Amino acid sequence: LPDGVNISKEARSAISRAASVFVLYATSCANNFAMKGKRKTLNAGDVLSAMEEMEFQRFVVPLKESLEVYRREQKGKKEARKDKDKKADSEEQDKSREEENDDDDERMEEEEQNDEEEVDN
């Protein structure tokens, strides 16, 4: 809101109720598009189609832009998670190799001791 604008509690309540009704109506319209597509899950295309059907075309472009930003963010998060998992896997493999090498070294030492004992006998 612009500076200096005051809203009464009644006005806040009315805006909140209007927003709830709008969301329910938009959801209902989007659900109709999903049902036409024989789907139970609403997708972004359903919501965009609902906005056009409800004659809120002016929201379609900003919604598409917001959707693209959201998808880029999610893709970035997914790639970061993937990189983190790869790094963790690599570290685990390195640790496993070190443990195997330690085990191999211990076995070799035991074999050398056994060989020395056999020579002594």
pLDDT tens figures, 22-43: 999 999 999 999 999 999 999 9
- pLDDT tens per residue across span 40-66: 999 999 999 999 999 999 999 999 999
pTM of this structure: 0.59
Residue 9 predicted with pLDDT over 70: yes
For the chain, what is the radius of gyration of the CA atoms?
32
| Alpha carbon distance 54, 4 (integer Å) | 33
8-55 CATH pick, 1.10.20.10, 3.40.50.1820, 3.40.605.10, 3.30.1330.10: 1.10.20.10
Domains of the chain, residue spans? 8-55, 60-109
Is pLDDT larger for residue 105 or for residue 121? 105
Q: Provide the percentage of residues in the chain whose pLDDT is more than 70.
A: 92
For the chain, give the number of residues. Answer: 121
CA dihedral 34, 38, 41, 45 (to 10 degrees): -40
